[in-house]
A and B are shown apart, each in its own frame.
Chain A
Amino acid sequence: MSQFGPKVSNSMRLRGGGLPSSWVIQIDPRARIVAAFLFACSVVAMDGFVALGCALLTSVVLLVSAGLSGKKTLKKVMAMDGFIIFMLLMLPFTTPGEAWFNVGPFTATKEGVYKAIEITLKANAVVMTLLALVATIDAITLAHALNRLRVPENLVHLMLFSVRYIDVLKQEYFRLRTAMKARCFQMGNNLHTYRNVGYLLGMLLVRSIERSERILEAMKCRGFQGKFYLLDDFHFQRRDRLFSLLSFFFLLFLFTLDSYYG
């Protein structure tokens, strides 16, 4: 273990991350982002189980063909499900409609159960598609692709700066923690701990602001005038056109399915 604590995370993967190559990863990032976005919008608008089941199946197929590690991906999907699980459990008992079964004094309705299943299908389909298509793009490429897709520049630069400085912040945090440890600090459930962890976070904030001012000054010294220049080389190739076309027809197919069986 280095003096900066555990090795820097790779949650923000930078360029050159050793991802296994699959056809999904070779598709132009812009096509993947747009496809994932349209897929998410469409799925949210649908309500038939057949179409939603089909969408979920597609997202699983995408996930598998992206060649991601099953265990990690499952963990991420579970994390999302963890957020909505309470809502899903409450829904059958709070939606008005035809009574179906009782749990203690509470009555579940058919409508509520259907609603809960629908939301589960939608949320999982969208998250898995995002994991397969968008999360496989490294953070810097993603920002560049968003820039090319005319996402406001300020947002793109905010993202790029976060990627650049998140590890600097992390290292600063670990240096402070080490120094606290050297002065016999132990975490505990007491006021002393809360106060000093608060100070620690506050100091990180103050230093980040000061650092950002220094960075801006250094940028100004190099002639910064509020304009960034992004260098990238995206090539929209035949396979990207093919992918876009396929995605488009697939979404059309889903909508047709939805209106027939919805």
Chain B
Amino acid sequence: MDKLIDLQDIHFAYPAHEGTLKGVNFSLNAGERIAITGPNGAGKSTLFHIMVGLNKPNQGRVMAFGAERKIEADFKDVRRRIGLVFQDPDDQLFCPTVAEDIAFGVFNLGHKKDAAMEMVDRTLTHLRLNHLRDRATHNLSGGEKRLVSLACVLVMEPEILLLDEPTNALDEETQERLIEILNNLPQALVIISHDSHFRRKVTTSYLSLENGILVKPAPKCLHAAK
């Protein structure tokens, strides 16, 4: 099986709302880097939540790593292998210190303390965030929070990385750093982003979520077609 994720004809609606997703087909192969765009409220984040089983589709099949995933127990394994970075880092960071927050996921995977701390330090070094190790999470700057929330997910060594608007409110320098980090990662990536500059630098193809379905957008101008 080549396809890491394969969504087939996904329909989803929030209670008391009309359908958000109306037949989404999506697949991701190893090493692929895909960007997803679309208007606000189109259901991009929902799509991510469906991939990791935080939302269950009303209709359609979620295939991940070669098996169909239906119930909560199926997704426990999926969440180990797919790392989801939330849109708002504050949603993710809840421990008093950076090191503890990064260790949280590793402990959830069942590692012992020594091994976990070693993984935390390795990840911090890799992302050059060692100076933040013992800082309190809630008074980091916006950019630092973003990088730490990425570290929290990377430390679990996922096979796929889902990033939900990672460049939101980042200054240029942090953005460049994020691009550099992402381009050195071996994982398959799916990124929700409205930033075309960022998309071009990090991903190889892009899709647009419009009216509840994923489409390959037609180039809007001649430059983009080249």
Closest to B108 in A: A184
A239 within 8 Å of B (CB atoms):
no
Let me know if A184 and B86 touch, CB within 8 A. Answer: no
| Majority DSSP secondary structure for residues of B touching A | helix
CB-contact partner of A3 in B55, B96, B105, B109, under 8 A: B55
A221 within 8 Å of B (CB atoms):
no
In whole angstroms, what is the CA distance A179 to B153 when docked?
Answer: 11
Let me know if B91 and A179 touch, CB within 8 A. Answer: yes
Given contacts A175-B91, A184-B156, contact A199 B15 (CB under 8 A): no
Let me know if B92 and A179 touch, CB within 8 A. Answer: yes
Let me know if B108 and A183 touch, CB within 8 A. Answer: yes
Contacts of B105 in A (CB 8 A): 183-184
| Majority DSSP secondary structure for residues of A touching B | helix
CB distance from A214 to the nearest CB of B (A): 13
B residues contacting the other copy or chain, number (CB 8 A): 32
Contacts of B108 in A (CB 8 A): 183-186, 192
Let me know if A183 and B152 touch, CB within 8 A. Answer: yes
Let me know if A182 and B52 touch, CB within 8 A. Answer: yes
Closest to B107 in A: A192
Contacts of A207 in B (CB 8 A): 90, 138
In whole angstroms, what is the CA distance A11 to B90 when docked?
Answer: 27
Q: How large is the interface on A (under 10, 10 to 19, 20 to 34, 35 or more residues)?
A: 20 to 34
B148 within 8 Å of A (CB atoms):
no
The segment from B76-84, B122-130, B180-188 found at the interface with A is B76-84
Contacts of B15 in A (CB 8 A): 1-2, 7
B194 within 8 Å of A (CB atoms):
no
Let me know if A3 and B79 touch, CB within 8 A. Answer: no
Let me know if B107 and A182 touch, CB within 8 A. Answer: no
Name B's A-contacting residues (CB within 8 A). Answer: 14-15, 45-46, 49, 52, 54-55, 76, 79-80, 84, 86, 88, 90-96, 100, 104-105, 107-109, 137-138, 152-153, 156
Name A's B-contacting residues (CB within 8 A). Answer: 1-3, 7, 175-176, 178-186, 192, 196, 199-200, 202-203, 206-207, 210
Q: List 23 A-B contacts (CB under 8 A).
A: A1-B15, A2-B14, A3-B45, A3-B46, A3-B54, A175-B91, A176-B91, A178-B54, A180-B94, A180-B104, A181-B54, A181-B79, A182-B84, A183-B92, A183-B104, A183-B153, A183-B156, A184-B109, A184-B156, A196-B94, A199-B95, A200-B94, A206-B138
